[in-house]
Amino acid sequence: MIRKLKYGNTNTFFIRGTGGGLLIDTDLAGTLPAFYRAIKEHNIKTRDISYVLATHYHPDHMGLISELMGQGIKLLLMDTQKAHVHFADEIFRRDKRLQYEPIHVGNSVSINRNNNREFLENIGIAGEIVSTPSHSADSISLILDNGTCFVGDLEPIEYLDAYDGNEKLESDWKCIMSYHPKIIYYAHANEKVL
């Protein structure tokens, strides 16, 4: 089961596996009440969410992670993302109303390209996490075996021609297309059925 949660500027997705639930991205810090309303609309409870995965660590994709971790949800962290986890700390710290608590990386579950498929299988999700660094060095995409793909802020495939000569973007899409995706879910655009 996949649910698209739209409660702010960033599309958030929930995947219910047979052994746990995975939340992909959150919105900005300070959006927790809106997040609660969104999951309630889809009959999702916080206890249904076992893990949270950020497609990258820009403020509009990870703002609620530390609060969700405080509720027992585990952060799933790719090794390519570790150096970027605190990218948004200073941005959030400037707004005193947020009372932002930085992510405690020590409490995360670390995975890499060699073991992430096995990890996902253990929670009943068939798929793989791949590095897609054309947007930012820490950007990842989740590609499910059923053809569903979550790419965060990766530039939409239909814009590829406009970025002529962008070898990183071309490489990312070549990687994703090698999995023969059927539907692409973006963080800030409507999904694309291929």
Instruction: Dump pLDDT digits (tens) for 91-105.
Output: 999 998 888 999 999
DSSP letter assigned to residue 139: -
Can you give the pLDDT at residue 160? Answer: 84
Beta strand ranges found along 54-189 (DSSP E): 74-78, 109-111, 127-131, 140-144, 148-150, 183-185
Reduced to 3 states (helix: H, G, I; strand: E, B; else coil), residue 140 is: strand
Tokens of 27: 């919105």
Identify whether the C-beta of residue 144 lies closer than 8 Å to the C-beta of residue 82: no
pLDDT of residue 188: 96
E strands along 85-158, which residues? 109-111, 127-131, 140-144, 148-150
| Model confidence at 164: pLDDT above 90 | no
Confidence of residue 111 (pLDDT cuts 50, 70, 90): very high
Number of neighbours of residue 143 by Cβ within 10 angstroms: 22
CB 75 within 8 A of CB 85: no
131-144 pLDDT tens trace: 999 999 999 999 99
- Given the structure tokens 């692409």, which residue do they identify? 184
For position 161, what pLDDT does the model report?
85
Q: Which of 60-64, 88-92, 113-117, 164-168 has the lowest mean pLDDT?
A: 164-168
DSSP for 106-123, please give it: GGSEEE-TTTHHHHHHHT
How high is the mean pLDDT of the chain?
96
Mean pLDDT in residue range 1-17: 96
